[in-house]
A and B are shown apart, each in its own frame.
Chain A
Amino acid sequence: MATASSVQVDVEVAKNLGLTAEEFNRIEEIMGRTPNFNELSIFSVMWSEHCSYKNSIMWLKTLPRDGERLLVGAGEENAGLVDIGGGLACAFKIESHNHPSAIEPYQGAATGVGGIHRDIFTMGARPIASLNSLRFGDPHLAHTKHLVAGVVKGIGDYGNCFGVPVVGGEVFFHPSYNQNILVNAMSVGIVKVGETVSASADGPGNPVFIVGSATGKDGIHGATFASADLTEDSADDLPAVQVGDPFQEKLLLEASLEVIATGAVVGMQDMGAAGITCSTSEMSAKSGTGMRIDLDKVPTRQSDMKPWEILLSESQERMLIVCHKGREQELLAVFDKWDLECEQIGEVTDTGRLEYYVGGELVADVPAEPLVLGGGAPVYERETRRPAYLDKVDQFDPATVEVPSDLRAAATKLFKSPSLVSKNWVTEQYDGTVRTNSMTENTPSDAALVRVKGTDKALAVTTDCNSTYVYADPYVGTMIAVAEAARNIACSGGEPVAITNCLNFGNPYNPEAFYQFVNAIKGMGEACRAFNTPVTGGNVSFYNQSQYEGGRIEPVYPTPTIGMLGVVDNVKRTMSLGFKAQDDVIYLVGDNVEDLGSSEYLRVVHGIEHSTVPHFDLQKELKLHRAILAAIRGQHIKSAHDVSDGGLFQTLCESAIEGGHGFTVDTDTEMRKDAFLFGEAQGRVVVTADESRTGDLEDLLREQGVGFRVIGRVAGNNITIDGEDWGNLMEWETSHNDTLAAILES
């Protein structure tokens, strides 16, 4: 066989490609010979962390991955697929684009959005909603402002053009993300059960097509710099970033759904990491088939592309489609209608091998199965060590924290914390109403509600993770992330059904960072089993770290973002968070535990970074959610809003601002006032009820075995705490709405 590359392959070349000596030996064993450079490049990308999950898969497999509603298992397809009843299914997934966004925030975030939507429509589902979970560093830094502006514009421009509303998400600021921001995007789609498409390549002899954008030298730096072929000329035309084209993606969406409807499609997969290599090998391995691909038939954007450049390119907005032999014309007609390139580049074989040709010459010949996750890709168990900082966490003693003499001043300061204030500066750049399904744009709820047209159902979706809790205790902190997501869905009137996760951690070879990862997975597993919300998929992003003065490298705060899907069976029984009417009675439902641990209050008002994870009780949490849902369905309450970041005072203010009504609340004399107002003990929800319904509500809560107390009333236009006037609601509203813009635009 011709090597088609002048590079002499040896273990040093393999190391330059990111493979270990051990892995190189295994490749030689699998191949029965020394691979050529093209083949080695294929292994290097398929066995990379990104494609193989080699350092995480062992732990991911411990997560609950089955449930009666799941139509495909975790990792089996491009995204999870959940039966929502009425003959419909929901495909949903969250994915990170952290490192590209740190380099070029606009394009990095935009292509992240594009990638996750492609995962959804490649299965035949139409994306109807998206969310994004963002973590930035200190917003007062010029660098952070630049990143925020770029990421937000990138997400907005891509999603707005593509025509899918952003219905929810989160934005947090913490210095641990100063150099390494997190950009996690989630897409949610709807498809009729039985009309999905699999990422498979059945039927030897069936033709293989590439559709969408032309292939350029995008995202192939690793291989390039390991290649002795590298000349100065070729370095010059290497794109530093990938450019997203939302218009092309919109056409690809419409054409893909149209072509699936013809029935001519056997299998389809989008091209993300490792491009043609990954899509051809995963589709083949899934079906136990192989492919013969003519690389010179791939439309290219740049001239003189080498075989391995075409194989590894990560150019955006491309799909691989296997079509039934003899029905090629149906495929071509649809793509022609949408003015998209569609080229046959090969066919399915029964060899179990991927054979890539250029000009009739075989340039790479590798078996499919050993390349892929779940096949022959390596699996490692990494070392863990309890991080030293946890000692500081354990030493936290709330008794050393003084209750401020002026609580109103403390509240005013806390209320301006960038992580707590309104993110309207961000969300007003995202189209939230296109597709006319967004039920919570006008009446916000703890989870976003998305109407499913033609049914009485709605989807309830949310992303959640308070990474400071996970930092303080990776195990409990991650349970809280799951619980908060479920609580948000319950408060909106939805029944949690499944999650997708985006696991943002540090270097897996750092035992302390890996300790965080392992314990987070354990906590997630336990919580997901309790809530009966299996994990349908997601992604792992390691190597998120920032360098500090003196060269010290620290991982970002461990951030296992949970994207949760809930279902509302009756759209008439949903709940919003704003106060509704004067004199409504305000209840705090759930046990009111005195706890200051890991609160935004400790950080902002007292400057305490290390403290224990907030109080959390999984079983009580579950009971609380059931009670809240029953209260919503029984129409006992008029608003529901959970107590989370910032504590009870924050929750009350948000409901007040949204509803346009003030409140008067009395603190608990048995408890520190600051803990009552600002503590973040979990498992609590603020609800309001009409006076006439309080008896029914209290009966229900007692029946459900859930604690509660009346804390006050919706009243007037001011905020009143223990009879003391804390000012007009308008002042708090202005502070809430204007703070972020003032910081970012200064």
Chain B
Amino acid sequence: MKFIAHINIMPKTELLDPQGKVVVKNLPNLGIQGVSDVRIGKHVTIALEAPSEQEAHDKVELACSKLLANVIMESYDFVIEAQ
């Protein structure tokens, strides 16, 4: 079976996100007011094959925890779509 995993990787909420902070402070330069918080992470998609959704889930979980996310700094979540 073919799957696509949509993964979101975000800086952990308790950590400082310097990028997000700069964006919050400077959105008013574009005339955008009222923004109180911005956090910047990344989105990853993985196309993969696996015998079952559970196994696809396990593979993606392993990829996230070992490589894609720095689990000391980042949290992640994902959804898996069967193709």
**Are these two chains actual partners, yes or no?**
yes
A interface list, Cβ under 8 A from B: 103-104, 106-107, 213, 216-217, 236-243, 245, 247-248, 301-302, 315-316, 339
The 9 A-B residue pairs with the shortest CB-CB distance, nearest first, are: A245-B18, A237-B14, A243-B16, A239-B14, A104-B72, A239-B15, A243-B15, A240-B72, A241-B72
**Residue numbers in B under 8 Å from A236 (CB-CB):** 14
Closest B-chain residue to A301, C-beta based?
Answer: B16
**Which chain B residues border A106 with CB–CB below 8 Å?**
70
6 pairs from A and B in contact (CB 8 Å cutoff) = A104-B70, A104-B73, A107-B73, A239-B12, A241-B73, A315-B16
What are the residues of chain A within 8 A of B70 when measuring CB–CB? 104, 106
Contacting pair A217 B14 (CB below 8 A): yes
Residues of B with C-beta under 8 A to A213: 16
Smallest CB–CB gap between A738 and chain B, Å?
27
8 new A-B pairs (CB below 8 Å) besides A237-B13, A240-B72, A247-B18?
Answer: A104-B73, A107-B73, A238-B14, A239-B12, A239-B15, A240-B73, A245-B18, A316-B16
**Which residues does chain A contribute within 8 Å of B1, judged by CB atoms?**
none
Q: How many Å lie between the Cα of A216 and that of B17 in the bound state?
A: 12
Q: Contacts of B72 on A, CB cut-off 8 Å?
A: 103-104, 240-241
Which residues of chain A come closer than 8 Å to B73, judged between CB atoms?
Answer: 104, 107, 240-241, 243
With the chains together, A176 CA to B70 CA distance in Å?
26
B22→A247 contact, CB < 8 A: yes
Q: Is the CB of B14 within 8 A of A302?
A: yes
Q: A339 to B11, alpha carbons, bound, how many Å?
A: 24
CB-defined contacts of B21 to chain A, threshold 8 Å: 245
Write out the residue numbers on chain B whose beta carbons fall within 8 Å of the beta carbon of A245: 16, 18, 21
Residues of A contacting B18 in the complex (Cβ-Cβ under 8 angstroms): 243, 245, 247-248
Measured in the bound complex, the distance between the Cα atoms of B12 and A100 in whole Å is 18
Interface centre among B15, B21, B73 (most CB of A within 10 A): B15
B13 touches A339 (CB 8 A): no
A30 to B34, CA, bound (A): 50
Given contacts A241-B73, A243-B73, contact A216 B14 (CB under 8 A): yes
List residues 1-51 of chain B with CB under 8 A from any CB of chain A. Answer: 11-18, 21-22, 25
**Which residues on the B side are within 8 Å of A241 (C-beta)?**
15, 72-73
B: interface residue count bin: 10 to 19
Chain B positions 57-83 with a Cβ under 8 Å from a chain A Cβ: 70, 72-73
CA–CA, A106 and B72, complex, Å: 11
Give Cα A374–Cα B46 distance, bound, in whole angstroms.
59
Q: How far is the CB of A674 from chain B (nearest CB, A)?
A: 46
Residue ID in chain B nearest A302 by CB atoms: B14
Give the shortest distance, in Å, between A494 (CB) and chain B (any CB). 38
Chain A residues in 8 Å Cβ range of B16: 213, 216, 242-243, 245, 301, 315-316
Chain A residues within 8 Å of B14, by CB: 216-217, 236-239, 302
**Closest chain A residue to B18, Cβ basis:** A245
Residues of B within 8 A of A104 (CB): 70, 72-73
Q: A104-B73, A241-B72 are in contact. Are A339 and B25 (CB under 8 A)?
A: yes
CA distance A200 to B16 in the complex (A): 29
CB distance from A224 to the nearest CB of B (A): 12
A301 to B16, CA, bound (A): 8
In the assembled complex, the Cα of A247 lies from the Cα of B17 at a distance in Å of: 12
Q: How far is the CA of A206 from the CA of B51 in the complex (A)?
A: 71
Interface centre among B15, B16, B18, B25, by most chain A C-beta atoms within 10 angstroms, is B16
Alpha-carbon gap, A242 to B16, bound state (A): 8
Within the assembled complex, what's the spacing in Å between the Cα atoms of A315 and B25? 20
In the bound assembly, the distance between CA atoms of A103 and B17 in angstroms comes to: 19
Q: Which chain B residues lie closer than 8 Å to A216 at the CB level?
A: 14-16
Tell me the complex Cα distance, A247–B15, Å. Answer: 16
Per the bound structure, the CA–CA distance linking A80 and B40 in Å amounts to: 40
Distance of B22 from chain A, by nearest CB (Å): 7
Q: Determine the residue in chain A with the shortest Cβ distance to B16.
A: A243
Q: How far is the CA of A248 from the CA of B21 in the complex (A)?
A: 10
- Measured between beta carbons, the chain B residues less than 8 angstroms from A247 are 18, 22
Complex Cα gap A274–B17 (Å):
22
Q: A216: nearest residue on chain B (CB-CB)? A: B16
Least Cβ–Cβ distance between A438 and chain B, in angstroms: 27
Q: How far is the CB of A449 from chain B (nearest CB, A)?
A: 34
User: Nearest residue in A to B11 (C-beta to C-beta)?
Assistant: A243
The CA-CA distance from A114 to B12 in the complex, in Å, is 21
With CB as the reference atom, state the residue of chain B lying closest to A316: B16
Q: How far is the CA of A716 from the CA of B60 in the complex (A)?
A: 59
The smallest C-beta distance from A111 to any residue of chain B, in angstroms, reads 11
Q: Which residues of B contact A238 (CB under 8 A)?
A: 14
A106 to B17, CA, bound (A): 15
State the CA gap A319–B19 with chains docked (Å). Answer: 21
Q: Which residue from chain B places its CB closest to the CB of A213 in the assembled complex?
A: B16
How far is B60's CA from A692's CA once the two chains are assembled, in angstroms? 72
Contacts of B15 in A (CB 8 A): 216, 239, 241, 243
| Closest Cβ–Cβ distance, residue B75 to chain A (whole Å) | 11
Measured in the bound complex, the distance between the Cα atoms of B16 and A241 in whole Å is 10
Contacts of B17 in A (CB 8 A): 243
Expressed in whole angstroms, the Cα–Cα distance for A217 and B18 within the complex equals: 16
Chain A nearest Cβ from B77, distance in angstroms? 16
Q: How far is the CB of A694 from chain B (nearest CB, A)?
A: 58
Which residue of chain A is the closest to B22 with respect to CB atoms?
A247
Output the least CB separation between B3 and chain A (Å).
29
In the assembly, what is the distance between CA of A241 and CA of B74, in Å?
A: 11
**Residues on A with beta carbons closer than 8 Å to the beta carbon of B25:** 339
Q: What residues of B have a CB within 8 angstroms of the CB of A315 in the complex?
A: 16
- Complex contacts, B22 vs chain A, CB 8 Å: 247
Complex Cα spacing A106 to B11, Å: 14
Residues of B within 8 A of A316 (CB): 16
What's the Cα separation between A566 and B81 when bound, in Å?
Answer: 64
Which residue of chain B lies nearest to A107 when distances are taken between CB atoms in the complex? B73
CA gap between A378 and B25 in the complex, in Å: 45
How far apart are the CA atoms of A243 and B11 in the complex, in Å?
A: 10
Chain B residues in 8 Å Cβ range of A239: 12, 14-15
Alpha-carbon gap, A573 to B25, bound state (A): 49
Complex Cα distance, B73 from A302, in Å, reads 16
Smallest CB separation, B34 vs chain A (Å):
18
Residues of B within 8 A of A103 (CB): 72
